[in-house]
Amino acid sequence: MKLDLGTLNRWNPGDQDFIAFDHQACVGCSACVRACVAGIWSMDKAGEQASLAPDYRQRCLECGACDQVCEARAIHFCYPPGGTGVIFEQG
Ligand code: SF4
Ligand code: SF4
């Protein structure tokens, strides 16, 4: 059976931030980049700091992994307000 991933979820992006990133606390370990399956985190050109994609509200899968792996506590994830964010329709 061929699975069409595009039918498994949809997004209803809100306008409120649900990920807070403390640039000053970031130590550049890149754990968030490796953990995020949605590719929302990246490192700056110098490889010293993480960066949160500006369109994360439209792409975040709300797994919370970035928050969990950041030992520097530079990332704080909380779920977006009800009715917004990713909506898993199957599974
Ligand atoms: S996991 Fe935390 S400390 Fe490491 S790069 Fe990401 S934000 Fe910075
Ligand atoms: S919550 Fe998950 S999908 Fe969203 S930015 Fe963090 S690691 Fe990526």
Domain boundaries, the chain: 26-81
- Topology of domain 26-81, CATH: Alpha-Beta Plaits (3.30.70)
Report yes or no: 85 and 18 within 8 Å, Cβ to Cβ: yes
Two tokens, residue 66:
């970035």
Per-residue pLDDT of 18-57, as tens digits, reads 999 999 999 999 999 999 999 999 999 999 999 999 999 9
What whole-number distance in Å separates Cα of residue 70 and Cα of residue 31? 7
Q: How many CA atoms lie within 13 A of 24 on its CB side?
A: 0
Per-residue pLDDT for 76 more than 80? yes
Task: For the chain, give the percent of residues with pLDDT over 90.
Answer: 79
User: pLDDT at residue 90 above 80?
Assistant: no
Cβ–ligand 2 distance for 21 under 6 Å, the answer no
> Is residue 75 scored above 70 in pLDDT?
yes
The ligand with the least distance to the CA atom of 67 is 2
Taking the C-alpha atoms of 83, 84, 86 and 89 in order, what is their torsion angle to the nearest 10 degrees?
20
User: Which residue CA neighbors atom 6 of ligand 1 most closely?
Assistant: 32
